[in-house]
Structure 1
Amino acid sequence: MELEENNEESGSSEYTKEVEIEQKLFPAGKVNPANISEEMETSYLEYAMSVIVSRALPDVRDGLKPVHRRILFAMNEIGLKSSGGFRKSAAVVGEVLAKYHPHGDSAVYDSMVRMAQDFAMRYTLVRGQGNFGSIDGDSAAAMRYTEAKLEKITDEMLQDIDKETVSFRDNYDGRHQEPTVLPAKLPQLLLNGSTGIAVGMATSIPPHNLGELVDALMHLSTNPECTIEDLMQFIKGPDFPTGGIIYSIEDIKRAYMTGRGGMVVRAKTDIVEKKGGKYAIIVTEIPYQVNKSNLVSKMAELVRDKKILGISDIRDESNKDGIRVIIELKKDSFPRKILNQLFKYTQLQSSFNMNMIALVDEIQPHLLDLKQVLEYFIAHRKIMITKRTEYDLKIAKARAHILEGLKIALDNIDAVIQTIRKSPTKEEAHVALIKKFELSDEQSKAILEMRLQTLAGLERQKIEDELAEKMALITKLEGILADVKKILKIMQNELAEVKEKYSDKRRTEVVPHAVDSISKKDTIPNEEMIVMLSRENYIKRMPPSSFRTQNRGGKGIIGGTTKDEDEIRVIVYGTNHEELLYFTNRGRVFRLPVYELPIGSRTSKGQAIVNLLQLQENEYVTAILNSGEKLTEEFLLIATRNGTVKKTPVGDFTNVRKSGLIAIKLRDKDSLEWVKETSKGDEIIIVTKNGKSIRFHEDDARPMGRASIGVRGIKIKTDDEVVEMNVIKDKENSKLLVVMENGLGKMTSVKDYRTQTRGGTGVKTANITPKTGKVIGAKILDKDIDADLIIASKIGQIIRLNVKDIPSQGRATQGVYLMRMHTNDQVASISLIENIIPAKEGKEEEQAEKQTKIAVEEEK
Structure 2
Amino acid sequence: MARRTTTPPPPEDFEEKIVGIDVEEEMQNAFLEYSYSVIYSRALPDARDGLKPVQRRILYGANELGLRPDRGHVKSQRVVGEVMGKYHPHGDQAIYDALVRMAQPFTLRLPLIDGHGNFGSLDDGPAAARYTEARMASSALLMVGSLDEDTVDFVPNYDDTQYQPSVLPAAYPNLLVNGAAGIAVGMATNMPPHNLVEVIGAARHLIANPTCSLDELMKFVPGPDLPCGGKIVGLEGIRDAYLTGRGSFRTRATARIESITPRRKGIVVTELPYLVGPEKVIDKVKDLVQGKKLQGIADLKDLSDRQHGLRLVIEVKNGFNPDAVLEQLYKLTPMEENFGINNVALVDGQPRTMGLKDLLKVYVDFRTDVVRRRCDHRMRKAQERLHLVDGLLVAILDIDEVIQLIRGSDDAGTARTRLMDVFELSEAQANYILELQLRRLTKFSRIELEKEKEELERTIEELRAILENEKLLLKLVSTELADVAKAHGTPRRTVLLEGSGASATASASSPLEIADDPCWVLLSSTGLLARTGSAEPVLADGSRSKHDVVIGAVPTTARGEFGLVTSAGRMVRLSALDLPTLPPTNGAPSLSGGAPLAAYVDLAKGEEPVTIVPIGGDAPVVALGTAAGVVKRVTPDAPRGNDWDVISLKDGDRVVGAGVADRDDLDLVFVTSDAQLLRFPARSVRPQGRSAGGMAGIKLGAGARAAFFGVVDPSRDGIVVTSSGSSGALPGTEGGSLKVTPYAEYPAKGRATGGVRCHRFLKGEDTLVLAFAGNSPARAAAANGVAIELPAADGRRDGSGVPTTTVIAHVAAPPATEPTSAGSGAGSQDPGSSPAVDGSVPDGEQA
Please indicate, yes or no, whether the TM-score normalized by the shorter chain is above 0.5.
yes
Q: Per-residue displacement from partner, 1:377-418 (whole Å, max 9, x unpaired)?
A: 100110000000010011000000000100111112122111
Query: Which residue, out of 503, 514, 518, partners 2:500?
Result: 514
Counterpart in 1 of 2:417?
431
**2: CA distance, partners of 1:22 / 1:468:** 84
1:448 matched to 2:434? The reply is yes
Identity of aligned residues (%): 43
Counterpart in 1 of 2:298?
312
Query: Which residue, out of 466, 475, 479, partners 1:493?
Result: 479
The one-letter amino acid paired with 1:255 is A
Contact 2:108 2:227 survives alignment (8 Å): yes
**2: CA distance, partners of 1:519 / 1:471:** 71
Q: Report deviation, 1:276.
A: 4.3
Q: Per-residue displacement from partner, 1:549-608 (whole Å, max 9, x unpaired)?
A: xxxxxxxxxxxxxxxxxxxxxxxxxxxxxxxxxxxxxxxxxxxxxxxxxxxxxxxxxxxx
The one-letter amino acid paired with 1:202 is A
The one-letter amino acid paired with 1:514 is S
Q: Per-residue displacement from partner, 1:232-267 (whole Å, max 9, x unpaired)?
A: 001010000011100122221111111101101100
Counterpart in 1 of 2:580?
none
**2: CA distance, partners of 1:339 / 1:150:** 41
Counterpart in 2 of 1:763?
none
Counterpart in 1 of 2:163?
177
Counterpart in 2 of 1:771?
none
Counterpart in 2 of 1:280?
266
Aligned 1:222-621 pairs, distance under 5 A: 222-320=208-306, 321-361=308-348, 363-515=349-501, 521=509, 524=512
Aligned with 1:115: secondary structure?
helix
**2: CA distance, partners of 1:319 / 1:525:** 33
Aligned with 1:331: secondary structure?
coil
Q: Report deviation, 1:522.
A: 5.4
Counterpart in 2 of 1:80?
67
**1: CA distance, partners of 2:103 / 2:11:** 53
Counterpart in 2 of 1:745?
none
Contact 2:260 2:315 survives alignment (8 Å): no
Counterpart in 1 of 2:178?
192
Contact 1:340 1:523 survives alignment (8 Å): no
**2: CA distance, partners of 1:428 / 1:372:** 61
The one-letter amino acid paired with 1:199 is V
**2: CA distance, partners of 1:59 / 1:227:** 24
The one-letter amino acid paired with 1:130 is G
**1: CA distance, partners of 2:25 / 2:260:** 71
TM-score (norm 1): 0.58
Q: Per-residue displacement from partner, 1:72-123 (whole Å, max 9, x unpaired)?
A: 0000001001121111000000000000111111110011011111111111
Counterpart in 2 of 1:599?
none
Q: Larger helix proportion, structure 1 or 2?
A: 1
Counterpart in 2 of 1:105?
92
Q: 1:412 to 1:115 in 2, by over 3 A?
A: same
Q: Report deviation, 1:301.
A: 2.1
1:219 matched to 2:201? The reply is no
Contact 2:233 2:500 survives alignment (8 Å): yes
Counterpart in 2 of 1:94?
81
Contact 2:327 2:502 survives alignment (8 Å): no
**1: CA distance, partners of 2:511 / 2:342:** 32
Q: Per-residue displacement from partner, 1:657-681 (whole Å, max 9, x unpaired)?
A: xxxxxxxxxxxxxxxxxxxxxxxxx
Q: Per-residue displacement from partner, 1:748-802 (whole Å, max 9, x unpaired)?
A: xxxxxxxxxxxxxxxxxxxxxxxxxxxxxxxxxxxxxxxxxxxxxxxxxxxxxxx
Counterpart in 2 of 1:60?
47
**1: CA distance, partners of 2:91 / 2:463:** 45
Q: Report deviation, 1:33.
A: 2.3
Q: Report deviation, 1:523.
A: 7.0
Q: 1:194 to 1:522 in 2, by over 3 A?
A: farther
**1: CA distance, partners of 2:25 / 2:489:** 53
Aligned with 1:430: secondary structure?
helix
Q: Per-residue displacement from partner, 1:704-744 (whole Å, max 9, x unpaired)?
A: xxxxxxxxxxxxxxxxxxxxxxxxxxxxxxxxxxxxxxxxx
Moved more, 470-479 or 64-73: 470-479
Q: Per-residue displacement from partner, 1:170-193 (whole Å, max 9, x unpaired)?
A: 100010001100000010000000
Unaligned runs of 5+ in 2: 518-556, 558-818, 820-847
The one-letter amino acid paired with 2:393 is K
The one-letter amino acid paired with 2:119 is F
Q: Per-residue displacement from partner, 1:15-49 (whole Å, max 9, x unpaired)?
A: x75x849998xx756x5421010000011001001
Counterpart in 2 of 1:788?
none
Aligned with 2:103: secondary structure?
coil
Query: Which residue, out of 139, 149, 156, partners 2:135?
Result: 149
Q: Per-residue displacement from partner, 1:671-705 (whole Å, max 9, x unpaired)?
A: xxxxxxxxxxxxxxxxxxxxxxxxxxxxxxxxxxx
Q: Report deviation, 1:520.
A: 7.0
Q: 1:520 to 1:465 in 2, by over 3 A?
A: closer
Contact 2:320 2:512 survives alignment (8 Å): no
Aligned with 2:358: secondary structure?
helix
Q: 1:428 to 1:32 in 2, by over 3 A?
A: farther
**1: CA distance, partners of 2:271 / 2:485:** 25
**2: CA distance, partners of 1:519 / 1:281:** 16
Q: Report deviation, 1:515.
A: 4.3
Contact 2:189 2:343 survives alignment (8 Å): yes
**2: CA distance, partners of 1:82 / 1:35:** 56
1:34 matched to 2:21? The reply is yes
**2: CA distance, partners of 1:516 / 1:275:** 26
Contact 1:261 1:355 survives alignment (8 Å): yes
Contact 2:280 2:334 survives alignment (8 Å): no
**2: CA distance, partners of 1:378 / 1:245:** 30
Counterpart in 2 of 1:567?
none
Q: Report deviation, 1:330.
A: 1.3
The one-letter amino acid paired with 2:77 is A
Aligned 1:686-835 pairs, distance under 5 A: none
**2: CA distance, partners of 1:254 / 1:528:** 46
**2: CA distance, partners of 1:79 / 1:59:** 25
Q: Report deviation, 1:145.
A: 1.2
The one-letter amino acid paired with 1:482 is E
The one-letter amino acid paired with 2:411 is T
TM-score (norm 2): 0.59
Aligned with 2:129: secondary structure?
coil
Contact 1:340 1:522 survives alignment (8 Å): no
Q: 1:55 to 1:271 in 2, by over 3 A?
A: same
Q: 1:38 to 1:273 in 2, by over 3 A?
A: same
Contact 2:278 2:312 survives alignment (8 Å): no
Contact 2:327 2:508 survives alignment (8 Å): no
Q: 1:96 to 1:106 in 2, by over 3 A?
A: same
Moved more, 71-80 or 321-330: 321-330
**2: CA distance, partners of 1:217 / 1:102:** 35
